[in-house]
Amino acid sequence: MSNANVTPQINTARGGLDLAMGNLTDPGVSRSPTWTMGGWQLAFLRLGPGASAAIDQDNGTVYLKVIAGSVVGRNWGAYAAPATVVDTRWNADSVIAGDGGALVSVFTETAAVPANVRTMGELAIQGPHAEVMRWQTFEEKFGPAAVYFKGKPAHMVPGFHLLDSDGDAYAYVHFWTAGKGIDVSTHNHSREPTPLSPAFAEIHQTLNNGTGKGGMYLADGPDAPHRDRCLLQRGEEHGPFFDIDPATRQPVLRPNGAVSYPWHGWESGPDDGTAEAFDLVTAYEITTKYARV
């Protein structure tokens, strides 16, 4: 992003990059550098209350995801209505923060983005400290604990820790892929949070749907025969799958501090025996400090 004023730092404890974006109520605009991935341009903006920033529409289709706060002209903040799907396409030449400021991602689909993702080699990340942004299979990432993913074409890459002025995280934003016929496991995030793995209320934004049939699902348990599916096409995000306290509009926490989720997961479309086609998904792990529905 032009006029970047945020310097990325390598996070040696958790992997990925730290971006000190400042507080939502700080005046002015914090701009990250821009990274590229498979023709996509990736960047982040933090805008103080009422602040505005130009959005370059000349390089392709822009998708803008609110991570914290709100922006003028969009009727949802970080979360759309529960279990709904909304398009994050942004057609305006600028973005203006709401009264409480805003933190957003700005992803641009340039002409270099292929119609589909056939190989992981197409998704090499380039930009500041790209050497730490290396794709791994789930099996490589999690080692012996990842028996479920042994030999499966599912990958993830270290991402971005977006930090406030106290060094607390707004969110961890990272990317993963799933080849055809892959269930990225039925789970509920019930493990006790730790300093290196804090509680979060996540949202996903799809950058590529390999078969057009991949998406989130809800289930009664890991072996339940029925799944309620929520398909996500390019540029779409879903509303909360986690439990929400109706009085506070904040995530419900388990006794151990983890966010309460039903059983859920992501399943890519079926393998029809033709060429590989990867789902490419952005995961926004928004910390409970900033999770407001």
Residue 200 pLDDT more than 80? yes
SS3 for the chain is: CCCCCCCCEECCCCCCEEEECCCCCCCCEEECCCEEECCEEEEEEEECCCCEEECCCCCCEEEEEEEEEEECCCCCCCCCCCCCEEECECCCCEEEEEEEEEEEEEEEECCCCCCCCCCHHHHCEECCCHHHCCCEEHHHHHHHHHHHHCCCCEEEEEEEEEECCCCCEEEEEEEEEECCCCECCCECCCCCCECCECCEEEEEEEEECCCCCCEEEECCCCCCCCCEEEECCCCEEECCCCCECCCCCCECECCCCCECCCCEEEECCCCCCCCCCCEEEEEEEEECCCCCC
CATH of 120-287, one of 3.40.640.10, 1.10.630.10, 2.60.120.990, 2.60.200.20: 2.60.120.990
Whether 16-109 shares its CATH topology with 120-287 is answered yes
Residue 224 pLDDT more than 80? yes
Q: In sequence order, which residues have a C-beta less than 8 Å from that of residue 226 and are 6 or more positions away? A: 219, 220
Residue 215 pLDDT more than 90? yes
| CATH, domain range 16-109 | 2.60.120.10
Residue 219 pLDDT more than 80? yes
What is the domain partition of the chain in residue ranges?
Answer: 16-109, 120-287
If pLDDT is split at 50, 70 and 90, which confidence band does 147 have?
confident
Mean per-residue pLDDT, 247-271: 96
pLDDT tens per residue across span 48-94: 999 999 999 999 999 999 999 999 999 999 999 997 999 999 999 99
Half-sphere exposure of 193 (CA within 13 A, CB side): 16
Among residues of the chain, what percentage have pLDDT more than 90? 94
pLDDT tens per residue across span 83-123: 799 999 999 999 999 999 999 999 999 999 999 999 999 99
pLDDT at position 145 is 66
Mean per-residue pLDDT, 249-262: 97
If pLDDT is split at 50, 70 and 90, which confidence band does 282 have?
very high
Task: State the pTM of this model.
Answer: 0.97
Residue 142 pLDDT more than 90? no
Mean per-residue pLDDT, 38-47: 98
pLDDT at position 146 is 73
pLDDT at position 1 is 64
